[in-house]
Chain A
Amino acid sequence: MGANSIMMYLGMGAFLIVLLVIGLKAGKKTTTLDSFAVAGRSFGPFVLAITITSTYGSASSYLGLAGMAFKSGWPMMWIWVGCMWGIVLPILLLGPKMRVFSQKLKSTTMPDYIAKRYDSSFLRTFSAVVTVIFYTANIVAQFRGVGVLIGTAFNIDYKLAVVIFGSIIIFYCAAGGLYAVGWTDAVQGIFMMLIIVFLVPISIKASGGLAEMNMRLREISPEMTRVFGNGYTPLLALFIVVFYSLLQMGQPNIGSRFFALKNVKDFKKVLILTLFGTLLMSSVPWAGFAARTLFPEITPDYAVPTMIMNYFPSLIAVIAVIAIMCAMMTTIDGLLHSISTSIGLDIVRDSMGEKDEKKVLNITRGSTIIVGLLAMICALFWYPPFLSMLVFGALAGVGSCTVGPILVGVFDKKANRVGATAGAVVSELLFCGLLIGFGSSVSIFYIGTPCLVLNIILTFVVSRLAGKPDKEIVAILFG
């Protein structure tokens, strides 16, 4: 075994030990439901910003999107146009209000927040079930990604990789709730950002500089450097920007992070740090552009690994593999936390009426383990077509249920239960129908965007046509 391999194994081993230690320490702080769900509302701006940014960026930021950059060139940056607005708008429009409203309503999960905003236990159960279904499917896909990446990078069996890394994630999520998720995200996020600092300049230098790289891209096809081209039409670009601008507003794993900020006035720092981090992540496509000019025959998704293998010094390559794995882990732990709190708090405690807090905490921890293990088993042995369909529509599937009630609810005093229910149910059914009908044969942007927009419109319009807002809740929230 060469020195480089030894360094990689040692580096990975040390990293995993750090995650386990964080899980143990977080477990000692996680003694109540409040601490499990929202870390006792104790996060400072740095931890919050890095957990938002790192949860937002999954392996697709490093592999899939770089692959799109390889394939389509600069027009694919419309996705990052959408993503940049999509991370800033929720913080700007929702962050402070949701933080304060969640405390006034004493809510610690997104489904609970929606339920108390509209005094609707139906909306709690509905949004919790939607979250569990779509997020669980997403976790399965992420586990598969971890298995492939680690198995390939470390030359170990795919199944062993899934079991080792899956077990560690499940452990620290079950032990430490959002404390563990936030702190591990902070460590993982640093790796994720660090590697980009090397990736971009090395990629540009390897391709002969920015001007040379763009010239070579134009030689491949003039559309590679245009604003629109290679399938990215003005219409698709519009759908992409609207899709990402709305998508994160309804995601439970983003909402729970807003709830966890200690001081609402720290949202300014959160925004600046998140902007900086997301801007860094948005530069990963440069590796895809460079790889296209240097290695035109490779599979697109291998653009970043290929650049790493060919141009990175050994130590940086180790960090790079860890960084890409971190991107998957930060997504998995965020989703797993949302699923377990939906099951434990929203369904068992609030919908079914279990009053014993200690019992609910144990059920929440237990559901983390059970759902994590189920997802692991699917990743190992069973990945039917319907699961990949759920993965394809995962975030939009949840957003189609929640974005209207959330967004309209923080601004509109007239928003009521009837409007929110209409928005959630009609949009969700429409999304599921379109997903089943078209599957992945149609771009998710054409399926998801209309449903997200419809949810907002229905919540707003139906609230004015039927039902009345709850005066007590409006008085509590809006004064």
Chain B
Amino acid sequence: MGIFYYVINLPLLLVFSILHMNKFWTEEKFDSLSKGLEKEDEK
């Protein structure tokens, strides 16, 4: 179980996190998500 947890599960979690961040947490995606908030701030 130690091998499963540290050698399989944790690297899997890290890879998933990195892939997700690279695809969905880009500058463009964050800017697109926040669109509309700048107008609110200006008001």
| A interface, CB within 8 angstroms of B | 73-75, 77-78, 80-81, 84-85, 88, 92, 96-97, 100, 103-104, 214, 225-227, 264-265, 267-268, 271, 275, 279, 476, 479
Contact = CB atoms under 8 A, between A and B. Distances in A.
A353 B24 CA distance: 39
Contact of B1 (A77, A88, A97, A479): A77
B17 A88 contact: yes
B33 A81 contact: no
Interface in B9-36: 9-10, 13-14, 16-17, 20-21, 25, 27, 30, 32-36
Nearest to A75: B1
Contacts of B42: none
A88 B13 CA distance: 8
B13 A74 contact: no
Contacts of A97: 33
A76 to B, nearest CB: 9
Contacts of B9: 81, 84
Nearest to B25: A268
Given A103-B40, A264-B33, A275-B17, 11 more contacts: A74-B1, A77-B2, A77-B4, A88-B13, A88-B16, A88-B17, A92-B20, A96-B33, A103-B37, A271-B21, A479-B32
Question: Which applies to chain A's interface (DSSP): helix, strand, loop or mixed?
Answer: helix
A85 B13 contact: yes
9 contacts: A74-B1, A77-B1, A81-B9, A92-B17, A97-B33, A214-B2, A227-B1, A267-B25, A476-B36
A479 B35 CA distance: 8
Contact of A84 (B10, B27, B30): B10
A227 B2 CA distance: 8
B41 to A, nearest CB: 10
**Looking at chain B, what size class is its interface with the partner chain?**
20 to 34
- Please provide the 3 A-B residue pairs with the shortest distance between their CB atoms, ordered closest to farther: A74-B1, A227-B1, A77-B5
A79 B37 CA distance: 39
B33 A227 contact: no
A188 to B, nearest CB: 25
A225 B25 CA distance: 38
B13 A100 contact: no
A80 B5 contact: yes
Contacts of A78: 1
Nearest to A479: B35
Nearest to A275: B17
A103 B9 CA distance: 35
Given A96-B30, A97-B33, A265-B30, A81 B20 contact: no
A226 B5 CA distance: 11
A225 B30 contact: no
Nearest to B29: A96
Contacts of B35: 479
Given A81-B9, A92-B17, A271-B17, A100 B37 contact: yes
A92 B20 CA distance: 7
Contacts of A104: 36-37, 40
Nearest to B14: A275
Contacts of A73: 1
A268 B1 contact: no
A274 to B, nearest CB: 10
Contact of A264 (B2, B14, B34, B36): B34
A267 B32 CA distance: 16
A226 B1 contact: yes
Contact of B34 (A75, A92, A100, A227): A100
A97 B14 CA distance: 21
Contact of B33 (A84, A92, A100): A100
B21 A268 contact: yes
Contacts of B25: 96, 267-268
A74 B6 CA distance: 12
Contacts of B37: 100, 103-104
Contacts of B17: 88, 92, 271, 275
A97 B40 CA distance: 17
Nearest to A85: B13
A243 to B, nearest CB: 16
B21 A81 contact: no
A100 B27 CA distance: 14
Contacts of A96: 25, 30, 33
Contacts of A75: 1
Contacts of B5: 77, 80-81
B33 to A, nearest CB: 5
A353 to B, nearest CB: 25
Contacts of A74: 1-2
